[in-house]
Amino acid sequence: MGLVLAPERFRKAEISYSIHPNCWNYGYATEAVERLIRFAFDTLQLHRIEAGVAVSNKASIRVLEKAGLQREGRHRKILPLRDGWEDNYSYGILSFD
């Protein structure tokens, strides 16, 4: 779980997370993402949070959408996976959303 901060003038960050499979389906990822977003907006005074997710990762898509991020776009064949290239969705949330 973490934030990758952009240069300060952009006031944005990319959120990333990984949850051990034993902890899936308990709401931990959603709760952690929501808290990290609040920290980013309230404490760091960021303007925007971004995330990317493979189009096949339904669980992570659900986490981002439950946390309030909106799907903003799709990058074609950008993720190199074992079975070939996969598309990636872009998600974002603004401090006033």
pTM for this prediction:
0.91
Q: How far is CA 52 from CA 21, 22, 75, in A?
A: 20, 23, 9
From 68, 88, 66, 61, select the one nearest 77 (Cα to Cα). Answer: 88
Instruction: Give, in words, the CATH class of 2-94.
Output: alpha beta
Residues 4-55: tens digit of each pLDDT:
999 999 999 999 999 999 998 999 999 999 999 999 999 999 999 999 999 9
Instruction: Determine the Cα–Cα distance for residues 2 and 96; give it in Å rounded to an integer.
Output: 21
Q: Where are the alpha helices (DSSP H) in the chain?
A: 28-42, 58-66
Q: What is the pLDDT of residue 51?
A: 98
How much is the pLDDT for 54?
A: 96
Which pLDDT belongs to residue 65? 98
Alpha helices of 15-89 — where are they, by DSSP H? 28-42, 58-66
Helix, strand or coil, per DSSP, at residue 70: strand
Structural domain boundaries of the chain?
A: 2-94
